[in-house]
Each structure stands twice: as C-alpha cells, then as structure tokens.
Amino acid sequence: MSDKYDVIVIGAGPGGYVAAIKAAQLGLKTACIESWTDKEGKNRLGGTCLNVGCIPSKALLEISHKYEEANHGFADQGIMAKDVKMDIGKMMERKEGIVNQLTGGIGGLFKANGVTPIWGHGKLLANRNVEVTDQDGKTKTYEAENVIIATGSKPIQIPPAPFDGEHIVDSEGALEFTEVPKRLGVIGAGVIGLELGSVWARLGAEVTVIEALDTFLPAVDQQLAKDALKQFQKQGLNIVMGARMTGAEVKRKLVNVSYEDSKGKQEAKFDKLIVAVGRRPYTDNLLSEDAGVQMDERGFIFVDDNCKTEAPGVWAVGDVVRGPMLAHKASEEGVMVAERIAGHKPQVNYDCIPNVIYTFPEIAWVGKTEEEVKAEGEEYNVGTFPFAANGRAMAANSASGMVKIIADAKTDRIVGFHVVGPQASEIVAQGVIAMEFGSSAEDLALTCFAHPTLSESVHEAALGVAGGAIHIANRRKKK
C-alpha cells in the first residue's frame, strides 16, 4: 500500500477522528495518526475526550449523582432507601467499560469508512511530510496532500503544586482514585474543577475549591452564576474566591496547601489535591523548524477563520487553535476542514457553539451574556423563567434554576440563551437551533411546546422577553 495520502490527520480525538471519517466519506484517501495507549500499552483512539476527559468524567458524574439522590433525595419522594453503599471499584469498572466500548467503536468506524489508523507520535515536517515514531522508537515518513493537526490539549501544571501522580494530581488522576478522600482540595473553580469536585463531594469527601479570581464563573451570565454558586454551597462545596495559591507540600501522606486571600495567609490540609487551572495546547515535538506552521507564545497554532495555517495544505482544529476548548467545537471544525479539502465551502458559526458545565445543577449557554450585551451598549430585552414554576421540574424533584433568553430590543433576534438547572445540557440545544436559524424571541413564543416538559420553561422565558409570560408575574417594562 502506498504511503502517500490525500489527507493525514494527526490526533484521533473528537476533532481528528471526525475529520478523518468525513474526509474518507468524501472519497479522500485518509490516514489518522494516534499515540494514545492505555494502562496495558494497547493503542486507543478517541483522544483525551473519550479516554480521560468528557466521557469518563460524565460516567462518574452520573453515578455519583444517583448515589447522592438515593441517600438524600429519595425520602422526600416516599422512597425509603437505607444503608446505601458505594463500591468505588465497581464504579471505576463501569467507567472503563464505557470508555472501552466507545474507543473501540471508533476503530469500527475507521474500518467501515476506509480510514487507515497509524500508531505512533506524529511530527509534521516540511512539504506536508509526516514522521511517525512508534512505541519501539522506529520512525517512518508518510506523504500527504493535506495535513490536519488535531492534537488537542493537556492539563496545565503550576509551579506551586507539581503533580506527583498520587497526592497532587491533574484532572486525569482525579478520575482514578481508588477510594473517597476524606478531605479533597481543588485548585480552580472552572468547569473541570467544579465537575470533579462535585463527583467526590457526592461520594462523601469534604471538598474545598480554591479559586484565584474574585468572580465566580466569569464566562457565565452572572445572574445564573450567582444562582449556581448558592446551590453548590448548599451541597457542601466550600468555594473560596479571590485566593492565590502559594505552595503545596506533601508531608505524612497529607498535602499541606498555603494560599493568600482577602484575610491574609491561609493554610489547609488535604488527603488529595486536584489541580484544575486550565489546559494548554498539546504541541510537544509536533513541528519541525521548517514545517512552516506558526504558533503564538502560549503554543496555539495560528489559523484563519477556516482553520488553515500559513503552510500550504496544512490545517489545525480543536484545542490547538483559538477559541473554546470544547470537543464539539473541535468536531465541527474537523468536518469543515474535510469539506474544504474536498472543494466545498462550509463554515463554522462560532456564535452558536454551546458551553456546558455538567454539575448539578447543570449550567449551559450559547451566545452572549447580559454583561456582554450591556457592555456593547446595545438595547436588549430579557425573559427569565424559574424551574420552580415548572410542573415537570417539580414532579422530578429538580425545581432549582432558570431559563434566561436575551434578545435584541430592535430586531427581537435572540443573542443569548442561558440555562441553569435540570437537563440544561439538553435544553440549550433548543437555543442553539433557534440562534442558528436567526430566530426571534417571538418565534419561540409562538412555538407549541409539549406539556408537561422542562422545555416549557423555554417557551415561558421567550414569552417573558415581551412581558407576556403566563405562569409567572412579568417584569414591568420601563416607560
């Protein structure tokens, strides 16, 4: 078989494997390079997302939520569940089973679509040549008409808290605990920190989340962020804002953490410490000096609006380029690039990329926050509806949170859609679809929603934009 391909993709995560499959579907001879191996040294597709990110973390979130509900949420509904225990080993078994099934599934999709997997570390050389180094250190070079870089990202390590793999861990290590830590520290109150902190708090850990910023979830609409913060605190998460970590030292199997907040120097002791302060592009040993691809000082690859680099025939998608580090954003870019290589002209609508935090309550949004709209000086209208007034949410014992819709005052076009509460990750899709089609708030208000459903809250929030909500009192409009 020839070692020359129409498309070579470096990385088999959500951006890479999707790009490879799409390119093959479009009739392009395609190969995908991946270096990931499991604990036994077996090759695995799926990248961070499927192996140690989105999928395993959601498995633990779902299991821990069910455990929490059985212990504290069933009695109010007349279900008497006594002496409920958690088998951490069984939980981890289930997580691994899900990961194995999904990563193996990608291999089946590669075979069905004619994608050639190449195992090893890929490095881009000049003129779209790609050098692959396998596990034994042997190298082989492949040629391509087009190369798509989709190598993803890795956790950021900070000097005050170097990872030791046992007591001080990154997000990957936090998915591998063999027992519930009595006291758990989390550095960073972002998406990853809150999700992992929630998992272990539900299972019985005393969790303290230390965040350097003064504002909780600054990227989230602040009305919803404040609502979520109250609910997290009720759940027992100790979230310390405006706290700058200064050091972490392991002594007698405990992590001694020092930090400074508004009250001065502070100290805390934890059995485990998770450092979740963000991720950086994974571009280690990725490019030769003459590859022609440029990166910024943080390691992000420069691309244009269509993910094309400065090097002819070289593209980059996902976490290694500008924009949010989201698996679905990477997949959309992967499809777009494959289509463009095949001669089509699709584009990604970056205004309609949803964001989700899979805590309980879930937080999800698409478009602009009220703070962003206000800062732009544009006139706008807002409609909100609480799940406390939604019959389905009350019946499900999940009546906290709200739906919030922001619309341009002149055109009524929806510019922001925000949800905090039950199934927010699913409900936000309604806002994404509406915004993708340029819908007005009135369009949603005139749409018939089934009763009783959580989605009726979307209907009511849309009605509320014009002051016409039915099931809550409406805000008085300024004259």
Q: Name residues whose C-beta falls within 8 Å of residue 223's C-beta, 6 or more positions apart in sequence.
A: 370, 384, 404, 418
- Residue 374 phi, psi dihedral angles, 5° rounding: -65, -40
Alpha carbons 104 and 95: distance in angstroms, whole number: 14
Our CA dihedral for 235, 325, 183, 92, rounded to 10 degrees, sits at 90
- 72 belongs to the catalytic site: no
DSSP-derived letter for residue 438 is T
Give start and end residues of each alpha helix (H) in 81-138.
88-113
- The neighbouring-strand residues paired with 208 are 185, 238
383, two tokens: 């409609």
Q: Count CB-CB contacts under 10 A for residue 291.
A: 21
Asked if the bond preceding 14 is cis, omega within 30° of 0, the reply is no
> Sheet holding 272-275: strands in order across?
168-169, 272-275, 183-187, 206-210, 238-240
Q: Which of 344, 451, 459, 471 is catalytic?
A: 451
Q: How far apart are the first and last CA of the chain?
A: 74
C-beta separation of 429 from 455 below 8 A: no
Q: Which amino acids are annotated catalytic?
A: 451
